[in-house]
Amino acid sequence: MPSLESHSIDQDYIASASLEAFGLMQITFQGAFENCGDAAVESHYIFAGLPVRIRVVGLRLAEYTLSPFSHLRTDHKNSDILNLTIDFWDESETGIPCPIGLPVSDLGLYRTVTASSDSRFLSDRDWRILMLLDRETRHAIGSFRSLERFLMADRARPFNRLLGLWYRDRGVHVIHSAMVSRNGNGVIFVGKGGSGKSTSALACVCAGLYYLGDDFIGLQEQSDGSFLGYSLYNSSLLDPDHLVCFPRLVPYAIDSGSAEDPKSLILISHAFPERLRRFARIRAVVIPCVVSAAHPRIRPASKGEALLALAPSSLRLQINPGSRELDQLARLVNRVPCYWLGLGENVDEIPQCIEELIEGIES
Amino acid sequence: MLNLQTRLQPNEKEVASKIMDGEAIMINLSTGVYHSMINVGAVIWELIEKRYSLEEIIKTITEAYDVSLAQAQADVERLAAQLIEEALVSISDGGAPTSTYQSPAPSQRVPYESPRLNTYRDMNDLLALDPPMPKIDDVPWKSPSGDS
């Protein structure tokens, strides 16, 4: 892993010029927003119970970046109490370039995230995109060079790095899990990639349970020791082999058209808009695993097994994680019952296992 | 060079760890490599956290478990070397345990299994694709109403 010293040039630049850079981006965006008429879109959301405004200049960029948040949208607009503003424009559609120099395509290809020396500003950029976050004023601003370079991962989870920090600043920690719920009682599916989290969550939403996410969930510990899980995105990314398990989702698959970006994007807000929830109380932890069996089966898991499945990939998502974050995950698995879910051959039988689990919790 | 008087300490700068239900989980936050140990291994990790010397660890293990001194010593020395190699621990400067281990069954020795360090490297590839986050301090923010 590169050390921070290898980014010292970037950090010195950001430290000394961050306020000026942010101001330049603001002026440029404001000009784009005021002068691009119908290409400017403004919408309001509730992220983890907090009001957020997103303004995008560029209709296609708006479609790409706002769709995963559509279930969090609100008609209630109060610009006086916003907890976050995100401003973003499409350089190609508007003809307005980013005023901050971006790396040329042959250099700086890989994404870098840097912070100003006072930690107030965060920059997330590669040669396609620049996003700046001012943590003090709760304002994120950015530009995108060309939609031709928009990856499926960008469409599924827009602004994920900066949003992760904004959530953390508000006591919500992004964890690597899927989540479904019924009657406000939520079950999270945890484990490394390929263990069956997405399969389990998508099988459940196809069967009528509520969906909160298939990869990232916002975790918030309450004062009474319980935990809420917040939906962050209504998207799912599926390999072609995986998508065929869900024939009801196939009509909604969005493909990149590129062999280099093979996954399909599914927006649950398109497939099952009425089956989305913004949050639920976490009542159980389930560890899916692939087994050679005809039918899915649930059996108890130890707290250690649950923490081992949840913590390594969840801590990787978090900002400067340490013992405090691991302790919080330990409190979560200690608080609720934990189970293994052997997936079996028939995904259609998974929802019944989960519904019976929730019924047992509710009774 | 390890000897029986060596005291080890968890590498707290890079490693987060937790013991739950007799299982120790250790995560190297820099590399993404994570480890687990159960039963005897989890007890040894707890003793390392308390800064027991290798000799004190061996003595505690032989008192709690039905195992010979020679076997316990060989296993503890082997495990200590593995933990150092995986950068989970370093040699401590301390001279005494920070607290005392309470055996769950002090009156009898329970069956013994050699401790095993389970190592998982499946996070490495994910880390290679994702940029590292810089060190970020807390930033005070004003509520939207303007109050701090």
| Tens of pLDDT, residues B81-100 | 999 999 999 998 877 888 88
Task: For residue A260, name the pLDDT band (cuts at 50, 70, 90).
Answer: confident
Four-point Cα dihedral A321, A322, A327, A330, nearest 10: 60
| Separation between Cα atoms, residue A319 and residue B130, nearest integer Å | 13
Average pLDDT rounded to a whole number, residues B18-47: 95
HSE-up (13 A, CA, CB side) for residue A116 = 21
**For residue A150, what are its two tokens?**
């928009």
Bigger pLDDT: A126 vs A6: A126
**pLDDT-derived band at A5, boundaries 50, 70, 90:** very low
pLDDT at position A103, please? 58
Residues B98-125: pLDDT tens digits?
888 887 766 788 999 999 999 999 876 5
User: Within a domain: residue B56?
Assistant: yes
Of A165, A313, A326, the CB nearest to B18: A326
Terminal Cα-to-Cα distance of chain A (whole angstroms) = 49
Calculate mean pLDDT across residues A297-323: 93
CA–CA gap between residue B100 and residue B95 (Å, rounded): 14
pLDDT at residue B99 in the model: 84
Option in A113, A311, A327 nearest B133 (CB): A113
Within an 8 Å CB–CB cutoff, is residue B121 touching chain A?
A: no
Does pLDDT of A359 surpass 90?
A: yes
Give the phi and the psi of residue A246 in degrees, each rounded to 5: -125, 75
CA–CA separation, B9 and B5 (whole Å): 13
What does the pLDDT average to over B16-41?
Answer: 95
Residue B66's identity, in one-letter code, is D
Which has more confidence, B63 or A12? B63
Identify which of A80, A115, A327 has the shortest CB distance to residue B18.
Answer: A327
Q: Using an 8 Å Cβ cutoff, are A216 and A176 in contact?
A: yes
Q: Looking at CA atoms only, how far is residue B42 from chain A in angstroms?
A: 11
- Would residue B145 count as lying in a domain? no
CB contact under 8 A, A326 and B17: yes
The mean pLDDT value for B7-13 works out to 95
List CB contacts of A329: < 8 A, sequence separation 6 or more: A175, A307, A310, A311, A314, A315
Band the pLDDT of A8: cuts 50, 70, 90. Answer: very low
Domain boundaries, chain A: 4-169, 173-362
**In degrees rounded to 5, what are phi and psi of residue B95?**
-110, -5
- Name every chain B residue with its beta carbon within 8 A of the beta carbon of A191: none
Helices (H), A133-253: 152-156, 160-169, 197-206, 240-243
B98-B115-B55-B99 Cα dihedral, nearest 10 degrees = 10
For residue A77, name the pLDDT band (cuts at 50, 70, 90). confident
Q: Cα A263–A265–A269 angle (5° rounding)? A: 165
Contact A122 B22 (CB under 8 A): no
Of the pLDDT bands very low, low, confident and very high (cuts 50, 70, 90), residue A9 is very low
**Per-residue confidence band for A3, with pLDDT thresholds at 50, 70 and 90:** very low
**Is B2 contained in some domain?**
no
Distance from CA of B27 to the nearest CA of A (A): 6
A122, A165 in Cβ contact below 8 A?
yes
Share of chain B above pLDDT 70, in %: 85
Query: Is residue B35 one of the residues assigned to a domain?
Result: yes
User: Is the pLDDT assigned to residue B129 strictly greater than 70?
Assistant: no
Residue B43, domain member (yes or no):
yes
Residues in chain B with CB shorter than 8 Å from the CB of A13 are none
Pairwise CB contact (< 8 Å): A316 & B131 = no
pLDDT for A100 beyond 70: yes
CA B21 – CA B39 distance, rounded (Å): 9
Check residue A47 and give its pLDDT: 97
Mean pLDDT rounded to a whole number for chain A: 90
Q: Number of A:B CB contacts under 8 A?
A: 115
Query: What's the average model confidence in pLDDT over B68-72?
Result: 97
Q: pLDDT value at position A317?
A: 86
- Tell me the mean pLDDT in the region A195-200: 93
Whether pLDDT at A194 is above 50: yes
Binning pLDDT at 50, 70 and 90, where does residue A26 land?
very high
Tokens encoding B138: 């807390």
Determine which of A258-267, A315-324, B117-126 has the lowest per-residue pLDDT on average.
Answer: B117-126
Domain that holds residue B60: 8-102+111-121
Mean pLDDT of A233-238: 95
The reported pLDDT for the residue numbered B141 is 54
Choose among B36, B135, B141: nearest Cβ to A136.
B141
Span between the terminal Cα atoms of chain B, in Å:
54
Please list, in sequence order, all residues whose beta carbon lies within 8 angstroms of the beta carbon of residue A59, skipping any fewer than 6 positions away: A38, A39, A41, A93
Query: Residue B127 above 70 pLDDT?
Result: no
Task: Please check whether residue B134 lies inside any domain of the structure.
Answer: no
For residue A105, pLDDT over 60 is answered with: no
What is the number of structural domains in chain B?
1
* pLDDT value of position B98: 81
Q: For an interface test with A, which of B29, B125, B147 has the most A Cβ atoms less than 10 Å from its Cβ?
A: B29
- Mean local confidence (pLDDT), A34-61: 94
Q: What's the pLDDT tens digit per position in A108-164?
A: 556 788 888 889 999 998 888 899 999 999 999 999 988 877 888 889 999 998 999
User: If you count them, how many residues does chain B have?
Assistant: 148
Residue A229 · residue A203 · CB < 8 Å: no
- Look at the domain A173-362 and name its fold: Rossmann fold (3.40.50)
